[in-house]
Amino acid sequence: MQTAHEVDFQIFGEEMQCVEIELDPHETVVAEAGSLMMMEEGIEMETIFGDGSGQEKKGLMGKIFSAGKRVLTGESLFMTAYTNVAPGKNHVTFAAPYPGRILPLDLSEFQGKIICQKDAFLCAAKGVQVGIELRKKLGTGLFGGEGFIMQKLEGDGMAFLHAGGTVLERDLNGEKLRVDTGCLVGFTPGINYDIEYVGGIKNAVFGGEGLFFATLQGHGTVWIQSLPFSRLADRIASAASSIGGSKGEGSILGGLGNLLDGDGV
């Protein structure tokens, strides 16, 4: 018997996507704070402590434990629950935080569990548990890009992840896949996650890809993104710092070119 609420959905857009969730009466979807785009009149929102998976019914300690797990992953103490309190169907829409793809994943098709990077979770049907996954190996925690802690989504309902750029889905059957640590979005329980030194002084110092790869091996599914947010942020910061020293974007002459064009300084 399915424990999570069963929700229908539709994804809109290409580079900047949003997902519209259709809720029957009394159905609920939970989402990260700040991800709401719009909602219809029959939707009621409530800030909740933890993930809304039902653990809150265990009392104050259950609430503290549920919320504490989210603090460890770097997320807010609170999530927002959106419930359809009207007699008919209603819709609530959530927007992606930066260019990329929204991944709709039915957890019942992946052994009821998916492990993902800390900022990948967007929203899910109520009943899906958002917890933590501790990496057992010291090296993986220190150099794996995501630290000791990743998120895990458990249950039998729909969960929606967001990843940057283009997203590739790879099914592994025992082979090993090496991935840039920032490009890893998530994987299923049958995948073993570790790190591997790139090797060679020239590769490590001048290769521009960091000192370590994420290695994924086993039997299951892996999701990989082409544009990690950290990489996007670095490019924006680099471009912003260079704008202050140049008035002619793409111009070899820069400020001198502006003088020659008659744009006095």
Q: What CATH number did the domain enclosing 50 receive? A: 3.60.160.10
Q: Residue 249 falls within a domain, yes or no?
A: no
Pairing of strands 158-164, 90-95: unpaired
Give the pLDDT confidence score for residue 31 in this predicted structure. Answer: 93
Give the pLDDT confidence score for residue 103 in this predicted structure. Answer: 97
Q: Residue 255 falls within a domain, yes or no?
A: no
Q: Residue 219 falls within a domain, yes or no?
A: yes
Residues of the chain with pLDDT under 50: 55-56, 138, 140-141, 144-147, 201-204, 206-208, 247-253, 255-257, 259-262, 264-265
Q: Residue 260 falls within a domain, yes or no?
A: no
Q: Residue 227 falls within a domain, yes or no?
A: yes
Give the pLDDT confidence score for residue 150 in this predicted structure. Answer: 84
Distance CA 202, CA 208 (A): 10
Give the pLDDT confidence score for residue 232 in this predicted structure. Answer: 73
CA distances from 245 to 99, 209, 238, 256 (A): 28, 27, 12, 12
Q: Residue 61 falls within a domain, yes or no?
A: yes
**At 208, which amino acid appears?**
G
Beta strands in the chain (DSSP E): 8-12, 18-23, 28-32, 36-39, 43-49, 78-84, 90-95, 100-106, 113-116, 121-125, 129-134, 149-154, 158-164, 167-180, 184-187, 191-197, 212-225
Range of the domain at 22: 8-235
Q: Residue 254 falls within a domain, yes or no?
A: no
Give the pLDDT confidence score for residue 75 in this predicted structure. Answer: 56
Per the structure, the count of domains in the chain is 1
Give the pLDDT confidence score for residue 234 in this predicted structure. Answer: 73
